[in-house]
Amino acid sequence: MLGEIAELPAEEKIFYAVLVFSWTVYLWEAYLAFRQRRIYRSTMHVPTELGKIMDPETFEKSRLYQLDKSNFGFWSGLYSETEGTLILLLGGIPFLWKMSGIVTARFGLGPEYEISQSLVFLMLATLFSALTGLPWSLYNTFVIEEKHGFNQQTLGFFLKDALKKFAVTQCILLPVTSLLLYIIKIGGDYFFIYAWLFTLIVSLVLVTIYADYIAPLFDKFTPLPEGELKTDIESMAKSISFPLTKIYVVEGSKRSSHSNAYFYGFFKNKRIVLFDTLLEDYSPLNKSGEGESATDTIKPETLTFNSCRLYKQGCSNLEVLAVLGHELGHWKLGHTVKNIVISQMNSFLCFFLFAALIGRKELFLAFGFHDSQPTLIGLMIIFQFIFSPYNELLSFCLTVLSRRFEFQADAFARGMGRSAELYSALIKLNKDNLGFPVADWLFSMWHYSHPPLLERLRALTGPKQD
Q: How far from chain centre, in Å, is Cα 314?
A: 22
Cα angle at 306 between 302 and 311, to 5 degrees? 95
CB count, 10 Å around CB of 241? Answer: 9
Q: How far from chain centre, in Å, is Cα 413?
A: 24
Amino acid (one-letter) located at 439: A
Identify any residues that bridge with 274 across adjacent strands, giving them in sequence order. Answer: 249, 261
The answer to whether 244 and 271 are in contact (CB under 8 A) is yes
Query: Of 410, 432, 440, 455, which one is the catalytic site residue?
Result: 410
Give CA separation, 144 vs 34, 57, 285, in Å.
Answer: 19, 18, 19
Using a 10 angstrom Cβ sphere, with 0-12 exposed, 13-18 middle and 19 or more buried, the burial of residue 217 is: exposed
Query: Of 327, 421, 440, 455, which one is the catalytic site residue?
Result: 327
Indicate the SS3 state at residue 53: coil
Dihedral sign computed on CA atoms, order 119, 123, 128, 133: positive
DSSP state of 225: P
| Host H or E run for residue 340 | helix 335-357
Buried-state track 76-101, b at ≥16 Cβ within 10 A, e below 16: beeeebeebeeebeeebbbebbeebb
Dihedral sign computed on CA atoms, order 442, 445, 449, 452: positive
| Host H or E run for residue 236 | helix 228-239
Our answer to whether residue 410 is catalytic in this structure is yes
CB count, 10 Å around CB of 381? Answer: 25
326 marked ligand binding residue: yes
406 marked ligand binding residue: yes
- CA 196, CA 346: separation in Å to the nearest integer? 10
The answer to whether 347 and 387 are in contact (CB under 8 A) is no
Residue count of the chain, please give it.
Answer: 466
**Closest CA relative to residue 271, chosen from 249, 247, 238:** 247
What residue numbers does the annotated binding site cover?
326, 330, 406
What residue numbers does the annotated binding site for Zn(2+) cover?
326, 330, 406
User: What positions carry a catalytic annotation?
Assistant: 327, 410
